[in-house]
Structure 1
């Protein structure tokens, strides 16, 4: 159904409607909350493509090669053999269809086999029940809570810390 691949510079425009949609970015990077113009999004996207401390991959539909989101690992540490998982499915038509779980499993495989990580973690808003469900299906376990760590629409809520270790990961 989907494949992961490097994004191309000309694909930055795909992010315009996604980042402009409050529902799409509600649970996403805090940085997205401040991006309002195409120029700001272009600047963010160009920096993302050049970020050497992250693995940034486009989520593409196999049959049409359409970009529907992006995912990867950030805060890479060779010393700690770890990274932090992230995902944004921008095309809402693909929400709730198992895409998040499939992408998560593919990124975990990449992290544990190609990059030889020992630990991959993430944070997820406590109210993002779909995300928590997808991450749990992919093998993540809850390891903690960051109290009032996220502010959206003037309200604070907790973020859940989840991780998966290579020793407990199942392909």
Structure 2
């Protein structure tokens, strides 16, 4: 049986998305593997201000993730720390709506953002780190062509313990080879 994925769309984020982000950021299960700044409570005003600023930088691109069937915002993804000199950046994703976890959406979003990074931004390399105890994310990144490059030992602190993070990356020529196959 083949699972049909919904059509994924991207849209800009803004302060009007603060309500849904507030719900996501107050759920420890959603933020467990996310940015360190998401580990602490934030007001809707703080979230709204952050959302109003994330699209105005040359070193970061962010996309709201919506699905064709509903148009509802289910998460966000993008590339941060973009270096125009080194032509590289760091991929990130958060699927905030848990009902969409485990459906292959993360892999599809990752592929689309990587394509944007290489084709539109002209990057040479995109990298990321993932908590080693987050096999779903690691699988999504592998499905999108990211390769394991190493382990950052005990580099993430969650739930009172340190966890390893997996360093992964994809180079434009590897992506082009995948795209052609």
Tell me which residue corresponds to 2:144.
138
**5+ residue gaps, structure 2:** 1-6
- Selected match of 1:12 from 18, 41, 55: 18
What SS does structure 2 have at the residue aligned with 1:49?
A: coil
- Listed as ranges, the gaps of 5+ residues in structure 1 are none
Partner of 2:58: 52
User: Distance in 2 between the 1:76 and 1:132 partners?
Assistant: 22
User: For residues 36 and 9 of structure 1, do their structure 2 counterparts lie closer, same or farther at Cα, with a shift above 3 Å needed?
Assistant: closer
Partner of 2:78: 72
Contact 2:12–2:63 (CA under 8 A) maintained in structure 1 = yes
The superposition leaves residues 20-52 of structure 1 with CA deviations (integer Å, 9 ceiling, x where unpaired) of 000000000001012333233223323323343
1:34 & 1:71 partners in 2: Cα distance?
20
Q: CA-atom RMSD, angstroms?
A: 1.2
* Cα 1:9–1:39 shift into 2, 3 Å: closer
Determine the structure 2 residue equivalent to 1:34. Answer: 40
Question: Within 5 A, what are the aligned runs for 1:1-171?
Answer: 1-169=7-175, 170-171=178-179
Give the Cα–Cα distance (whole angstroms) in 2 for the partners of residues 47 and 32 of structure 1.
16
By how many angstroms is 1:104 displaced? 0.2
Preserved contact between residue 35 and residue 41 of structure 1 (Cα < 8 Å)? no
The number of equivalent residue pairs is 171
